A = this chain, B = another copy of it.
C-alpha cells in the first residue's frame, strides 16, 4: 500500500485514503517501521499539498483566509514530521533525520509568528473590552484606535490608548513576521527543506532494522517523558483555585518571560510529542482522548496568556506613554497572568481525570 505514495499525490483525498487503510503490522501484531513510514509519507504529502495551496493564495498579507489556512496546515505537518523523527529516532537514518529536524523547527517557527501576533492582539483587545465594560471599547473591531470611543473618564481613555498602542505594536510585529515568512518561503534554505520533505513523501529513510522494530516502546518512552515532566509541575498548588502564584513576579524587574512558566511550556511540547506518537501507532483510526485534548487546550491557553501578559508589560515600557495608558496595561498584564493561573488550574483538572484507555502503547 505504500506504493500509492511514490507518485506525488495531488490532494488530501490521497491522505484520507491512506489514513483509512489498516496499519501494517509485524507478524506478532506489533506496529513496526512501515507504520512510521506510512505516517511520515502522509504528513509529507500533506505538507507538499499545503505548500502548493500557500503558493496559489500566498500574496494575501493578512494571514487569514486561504493563505492562513495553508500556513497552518504546513506548520501542522511540519510539527508532526519533526516530532515523529524525534520520538522514533532509532528507526531513521541518523544523519538525515538529525539534519532535518532543526530545519523543520525553523520553518514552522517562522510561519507561526504572524499568526501568533494576530492572535495575541485579538486576545489583548478582547480582554480590554471585557475589562472596560460594554461601552468603553467597541467589541470585535480589532482596531481600537480607529473606532469611535466615548470616554467617560481617565481610565477609559487609558484602555482605549492601551488598545491603540498594542494594536500599533503588534500589527507592526505581525507585518514584519509576514514579510519574514514570505522571505523564508522564497529562500534556498526553504527549498532544501521542501526537497527533503518531497523525498520523505516517496521514500522514508528507515534503518535496516526498522522493519523488525516495535514502535510501542518508543511511543511509551515519549509518554513517560510527558508524565515525568507533569510530575515536576506544581499541580497541588495549581489545583487550589486563586493561589495567586502566576502573578508572583508581576512587578519584578525582569523583562524575560517568567521562569515559572517554562516547565508548563515544556509539558505542552511533550504532550504534543505524545499525541503525535499516538497518531503514528493508531494511524487511520486514532481514538480521541478527551483528557489529552483538554490538557492540551489548557496548555495552549497557558502559553497564549503568558505571551499576551508579556506583550502588555512590554508595551508599558514604551517611552512617553500617559499614566492612564500604563495603568490600563498594568490591569491587562495582571488579567492575563490570572488567565495563566486559570489555565494551570484547568490543566490540573483535565490531567487528574482518569486516563482513557486507548490501546497498546498509550
Bound Cα distance A241, B151 (Å): 32
Contact (A331, B328) CB under 8 Å given A133-B252, A152-B253, A323-B321 = no
Contacts of A131 in B (CB 8 A): 247-252
Contact (A325, B328) CB under 8 Å given A155-B313, A251-B159 = no
Contacts of A154 in B (CB 8 A): 253, 317
Contacts of A247 in B (CB 8 A): 131, 331, 335, 338
A265–chain B nearest beta-carbon distance, Å: 20
Which chain A residues in 233-250 approach chain B with CB under 8 Å?
Answer: 241-242, 244, 247-250
Contact (A334, B327) CB under 8 Å given A131-B250, A248-B133 = no
For A336, the closest partner residue in chain B by CB is: B334
Bound Cα distance A257, B322 (Å): 24
Contacts of A176 in B (CB 8 A): none
Bound Cα distance A324, B132 (Å): 21
Contact (A241, B136) CB under 8 Å given A153-B255, A252-B155 = no
Scan A134-159; emit 1 where CB is below 8 A from any B CB, else 0. Answer: 00100000000000000111111011
Q: Is the CB of A128 within 8 A of B327?
A: no
Q: Is the CB of B252 within 8 A of A338?
A: no
Contacts of A327 in B (CB 8 A): 316, 326-327, 329-330, 333
Contacts of A335 in B (CB 8 A): 244, 247, 250, 334
Q: Is the CB of B345 within 8 A of A242?
A: yes
Number of interface residues of A (CB under 8 A): 50
- The answer to whether the Cβ of A125 comes within 8 Å of any Cβ in the partner chain is no
For A319, the closest partner residue in chain B by CB is: B323
- The answer to whether the Cβ of A341 comes within 8 Å of any Cβ in the partner chain is yes
Which chain A residues in 92-118 approach chain B with CB under 8 Å?
Answer: none
For A342, the closest partner residue in chain B by CB is: B242
Contacts of A249 in B (CB 8 A): 131-133
Contact (A338, B152) CB under 8 Å given A323-B316, A330-B330, A331-B250 = no
Other CB < 8 Å A-B pairs besides A241-B345, A334-B335, 6 of them? A128-B251, A133-B252, A159-B251, A250-B335, A316-B327, A330-B330
**Using a CB–CB distance below 8 Å, which chain A residues touch chain B?**
128, 130-133, 136, 151-156, 158-159, 241-242, 244, 247-255, 313, 316-317, 321-335, 338-339, 341-342, 345-346
